[in-house]
Amino acid sequence: MSILNVMWSGGAPFASIHKVHQQILSQVDATSPVKTWLLQGGASDCGVNVVGAREWNLSSAQLKGRHFWRLTKPRMQAGFQKALLESQADLLLLDGLGVARTLLPLLKKLPHIRAVVIFHGSTRLRPEDRVLFQHFKSAQLTLVAVSGTLAAKLRQDLQLPILTLRSAFDPEAFRADVLSREDARARLGLPLDETPVLGAVGRLEDKKGFACLLDAFAVALKQRADLRLVIIGEGSNRAALQARIDSLGLGANVALPGHLNDAAQLYRAFDWVAIPSLSEGLGLIMQEAVMAGVPVMSSELPVFREQLDDRGVYAAAADVNAWSAAILSAFNDSAPTIAAGQYRKLAPDQAWLDFSQAVRKLLS
C-alpha cells in the first residue's frame, strides 16, 4: 500500500499537526512507501522529519480560489490530479477540512484511491462540505477526529459517522528525549535554583488564551514576586503580547523565546505548565507535559476533562481572576503529587497501545 500524506502547510505554526500525522505514519508497515505533500510553506521548522516532501508553494487564496485565483483553480486541480496519478497512491491521509475541500473532489473520478481526513480542531463547516462528504461511500472515505469531544461535535454538525482516534505518543521514546531540569533551564536561560517557573507552549494567537494568562500572571505576581513565566511559540500575536508584557511591567519576569524545535524536550524547566486555550481539538501540550512529569493547569474545556478528568487543575477560560487564583494555588500545592496523579489518569502507555492498534486498523 502506497500512502500520500497531504498537509495544509509546513512551518512552526503547524508543528503539532505534523506531530500527529507522523505518529500515525509511524504505524505504517515498513514495506509501504509514504510520501508527503505540503500545499503551503516549507518543510523546515515543522518540528518533525519531513525530508523529501513535495512543496507546492501555494497560497491560501490560490487553494481556496479567491478573487483572481478563481480563474486558475481548474488548472491547479488538473495539476493535482496528474500528480495524484503519478504518485500511485492507494491511500490519502488528508490534514483537515482545507485539504479535504481541495483534493476530495478529484477522488470522485479516482475511486481506486481511499482517503482518510483527520480533523485536528473545530472548524467552520459549510453546507457544501456535508454534501461533499456524503458523495463518498464509507469504503472510500473515513472521517477521523483526534479526540472524542471533537468527534461528537463533528457528528452533530455533519450528521455523518466520525471515528475517534485520540492522538497519543510513545511515552518511552518521548521521555528518552526530555532534558533534565538543569539542562532545560540552561537552554532557556532560566535560573538553575528553585525559582518557581510557569511554562506555556503554543502558537501566539487569540484562541490560545495567552493574553488572559499574562493578565492573570500580573495579578499573581503581586503576591508571589519570585514567579517567572515562559511562553514558547510564535505567531501573529507576538507584537501584541510583547506590548502587553511591557505595559504590565512584566519584562523581568516573562520571556517569549519564540518557536523552538526542541520545545518538547524542555518541559522539565517548568514547575507547572499552563494551557489557557479558549478551544482545542485535543491539546498535545497536555499529553507532552504529563509524560514529562510536569503538572498541568488548563482551561475548563471538555477536551481537557476528557483526558485528565478529576485529576486536572482547571480555570474558566478567559477568566483572569480564576487563572490568577489557579496559579497561586498551584505553587502552594505538591507539584510531584499532582503530576503523578495526572500521569495515572492519562495512562500514556495504554493510550499509546490503543492508538497504535486503532491506526493499524484504520490504515489496513
Provide the pLDDT for residue 123: 85
- 329 and 180 within one domain: yes
- What is the residue range of 264's domain? 171-346
- 326 and 294 within one domain: yes
Provide the pLDDT for residue 9: 93
Provide the pLDDT for residue 122: 84
Q: Cell 491506526, residue? A: 359
Look up residue 93 and give its amino acid. L
In a domain, 356, yes or no: no
Phi-psi region of 281 (alpha: psi -120 to 50; beta: other; left: phi over 0): alpha
Provide the pLDDT for residue 260: 93
- 209 and 179 within one domain: yes
Angle between helices 335-346 and 284-291 (to 10 degrees): 120
CATH number for the domain that contains residue 314: 3.40.50.2000
- 320 and 303 within one domain: yes
Query: For the chain, what is the radius of gyration of the CA atoms?
Result: 21
Contact 299, 275 (CB under 8 A): yes
In a domain, 360, yes or no: no
Backbone angles phi, psi at 26, to 5 degrees: -65, -15
Q: Cell 512551518, residue? A: 11
Q: What is the mean pLDDT of each run of 10 residues along the chain (364 residues)?
A: 94 86 91 93 76 89 90 94 96 97 95 97 91 96 97 95 94 96 98 96 96 98 98 95 98 96 96 97 95 98 97 98 98 96 97 96 90
Q: Which residues make Cβ contacts (< 8 Å) with residue 334, sequence separation at least 6?
A: none
Domain boundary pick from 97, 131, 165: 165
Strands 91-95 and 114-119: parallel
Provide the pLDDT for residue 275: 98
Backbone angles phi, psi at 169, to 5 degrees: -120, 160
Taken as a whole, the chain contains a residue count of 364
- 240 and 324 within one domain: yes
Contact 311, 326 (CB under 8 A): no
Provide the pLDDT for residue 66: 87
Provide the pLDDT for residue 51: 65
- 180 and 154 within one domain: no
Give the H/E segment covering residue 95: strand 91-95
